[in-house]
A and B are shown apart, each in its own frame.
Chain A
């Protein structure tokens, strides 16, 4: 029986090893090498990590100054969207989830260009405001700024937040909530319990998805961020334009360590809310 179970899981392990673990190890190794005239040289050193940390610290700060708020905002909105779908809208709850998921079929780039159309100088928002004489000049802070980036990221990531939080809420019985209210629990008691304790896994999964996708993105900052540079914008040309795979790998692993650290800190903070 045990052997049979192992056999069944073997394909998954093989695929995971081949497509994730081995490339992971390879890129970690070359992050310790260097490049000379477009060729990799096996010269083990930590120079790439030193550069990744000290040369790009401001870009890491910019990246996480957007991706952490995006992860928090998206998770909170996703949580309350799921809450409405699970507990407040009855049979229309499934329709809400369907609507959220159907937006995934729209495609990533289409959403970016849609927001460019909405937020631009001659976009929908500015055109309406100017038409009704609310403003005279277009609001330029809407696009090519951090505001525009956050709006676009939140819209794109909402389905990734709603899915895990809604799945977690399905494990919560409505009777539990009614009992809490009958025993005098206030609105915030109920929501604190749901957010930090009963749905913790889903909420954390949502935060992790949003943080990792945002911090690793380089297309959205390029197209929506104007002159804002994310660390992904520096990593991508390392692998293509500059042919500096060691440098790009070291920057990627540095980003990974920072992201994992943030996730561990958030996870720890959640644990602090456990009842004593």
Chain B
């Protein structure tokens, strides 16, 4: 199996840290300031680019003066989860929205729904600098056509408190040790949690291609977690908060950047590990909405987000995984938060899974069935 051919990850309901939030605000303020600065002396009207994505994902577009130089206003709408991108596009957003930032597992579904337009690779020269681990994921390229530019990634490791847990956990089964009962945390992420439960508790070869029984087994596993978890948080920020405060000492699922979130909160004793059963990985992309009003500028922004300056900013300032090999080589301390030195080895520990089927008929459970099944876990 080609390690670089993969599928995808979870819905990221994460709430950014206050630091990132402030940066988002600064970015917005900078956008407003730069745009305003560009207005005097010009007779032409500014171009409005509508951006729909995670808070902070727009920050890399302000590392140079391209937007200001070209009199471009970036109108941002931040999402709470990836589904908002789909729901906003299908409910009137097509034709008005330019850039969206879906995670790659959503792209085949969005292409099927006819709400994305192809990326013209000739207009995104920085694609050539993206590490092969990320650049040609099959979810991004549908029927030979590219629909996304992968710019940030991460995995779902187990987070743990090194003050309380002196020896590094090796297995997800460690969650059920009696000493951790009532001290386990998790994040309320339907897709990610079912995927990880499927990795741990089912015999499925692909964690997103589940039979009815495998899905039931995954949900049973999640329900069994309810007896040991203390909280199921709405965001990564809240999970980091609980880890830093000592309210939980170990987690089901996680995110490498949580370690940095905890350091920011004064807790440098939170670490992560990829347990032996494995986990899943995810990749977020810049994509262009169908009938985007400014397709040429949108392509330029897609190229900018994977250029070295923007990538370095995302890596060093936001402590998120980046994809540009040249930028990875130039990272500072943030390089330690992600396994950049062993991306090949990462494929053995974390897998990119394709999105669950959307339509019935394949003999596998559909995404809607997953969502309904997840509600059984919530209700249990």
Using a CB–CB distance below 8 Å, which chain A residues touch chain B? 37-39, 55-56, 58-59, 116, 120-123, 138, 140, 143-144, 222-223, 226-227, 229, 233-234, 237, 240-243
Contacts and interface: CB of A to CB of B under 8 A. Distances in A.
B245 interface: yes
A97 to B, nearest CB: 35
Contacts of A240: 80-81, 83-84, 87
Nearest to A229: B378
B90 A122 contact: no
A120 B87 contact: no
B83 A227 contact: no
Contacts of B335: none
Contact of B81 (A55, A226, A234, A241): A241
Contacts of B238: 223
B234 A140 contact: no
A241 B245 CA distance: 29
A97 B245 CA distance: 35
A142 B295 CA distance: 54
B246 A58 contact: no
Given A38-B113, A240-B84, A121 B358 contact: no
B244 to A, nearest CB: 9
Nearest to B380: A58
Nearest to B372: A55
Contacts of A38: 86-87, 90, 113
B247 interface: yes
Nearest to A240: B84
B84 A234 contact: no
Given A223-B234, A226-B230, A240-B80, A121 B245 contact: yes
Contacts of B190: 241
Contact of A120 (B11, B233, B245): B245
A139 to B, nearest CB: 12
Contacts of B379: 55-56, 58-59, 229, 234
Nearest to A233: B378
A238 to B, nearest CB: 10
Given A59-B378, A143-B247, 16 more contacts: A37-B358, A38-B87, A38-B113, A55-B379, A59-B379, A116-B241, A121-B245, A121-B247, A144-B231, A222-B233, A223-B233, A223-B238, A227-B229, A240-B80, A240-B83, A241-B83
B375 interface: yes
Interface string B109-132: 000010000000000000000000
B83 A122 contact: no
B28 interface: no
B226 interface: yes
Nearest to A57: B379
Nearest to B81: A241
Nearest to B232: A227
A241 B229 CA distance: 23
Interface in B59-105: 80-81, 83-84, 86-87, 90
Interface string B219-248: 000000010011111100010010001110
A144 B87 contact: no
B86 A234 contact: no
A242 to B, nearest CB: 5
A240 B81 CA distance: 8
Contacts of B378: 59, 229, 233-234
A106 to B, nearest CB: 19
B182 interface: yes
A208 to B, nearest CB: 27
B37 interface: no
Contacts of A226: 229-232
Contacts of B232: 226-227
B245 A122 contact: yes
A241 B368 CA distance: 12
Contacts of A58: 379
Nearest to A58: B379
B165 interface: no
A122 B247 CA distance: 8
A223 B168 CA distance: 29
A232 B72 CA distance: 40
A65 B109 CA distance: 40
Interface string B166-180: 000000000000000
B371 interface: yes
A236 to B, nearest CB: 9
Contacts of A123: 245
Interface string B299-333: 00000000000000000000000000000000000
A123 B241 CA distance: 13
A94 to B, nearest CB: 38
A122 B81 CA distance: 31
- When A and B form their complex, which 9 residue pairs have the shortest distance between CB atoms, in order from nearest? A226-B231, A243-B87, A222-B234, A241-B83, A38-B90, A121-B246, A144-B231, A227-B232, A241-B81
Nearest to B376: A55
Contacts of B358: 37
B371 A242 contact: yes
Contacts of A242: 83, 371
A179 to B, nearest CB: 55
A243 B234 contact: no
B247 A39 contact: no
B257 to A, nearest CB: 20
Residue among B90, B188, B246, B247 with the highest chain A CB neighbour number at 10 A: B247
